[in-house]
């Protein structure tokens, strides 16, 4: 598993292993070695910590949910008029995902 986002950059010759997490807007330079189960952030990238089994599970679930969003949204699209004000009886959106901070505290 690798968690890589659209604005991350990897130069040729960098060596990344499995189960790593790359922070947003991170640039991994040439010849950098990213060991398994590690997190890198910054520009240029720096190793900041090891990744636990709990964090890998949390990131994997978050990635699964993120990848399912386009299909879910496409299936539920309907023509509508824009809201001019928020209706008083509007339902509160359900939270189906918890932040890493919330996950660690439970």
Alpha-carbon gap, residue 41 to 24, rounded angstroms: 7
Domain borders along the chain are 1-54
Asked whether the predicted pLDDT for residue 18 surpasses 90, the reply is no
Long-range contacts of 7-13 (CB under 8 A, 24+ apart): none
Average pLDDT over residues 1-27: 67
Instruction: Supply the pTM of this predicted model.
Output: 0.56
| Closest residue by Cα to residue 50 from 35, 32, 37 | 37
pLDDT (tens digit, 9 = 90+) per residue, 46-103?
999 998 999 888 888 888 998 999 999 999 999 999 989 989 999 988 877 788 888 8
Question: Which pLDDT value is given to residue 5?
Answer: 44
């Amino acid at each position: 598993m690798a968690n890589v986002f659209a604005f991350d950059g990897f130069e040729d010759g960098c060596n990344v292993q499995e189960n790593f997490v790359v922070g947003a807007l991170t640039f991994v330079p040439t010849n950098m070695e990213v060991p398994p189960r590690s997190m890198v952030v910054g520009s240029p990238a720096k190793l900041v910590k090891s990744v636990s089994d709990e964090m890998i599970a949390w990131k994997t679930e978050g990635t699964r949910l993120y990848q399912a969003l386009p299909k879910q949204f496409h299936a539920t699209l309907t023509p509508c008029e824009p809201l001019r004000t928020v209706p008083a009886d509007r339902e509160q959106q359900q939270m189906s995902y918890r932040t890493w901070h919330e996950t660690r505290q439970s």
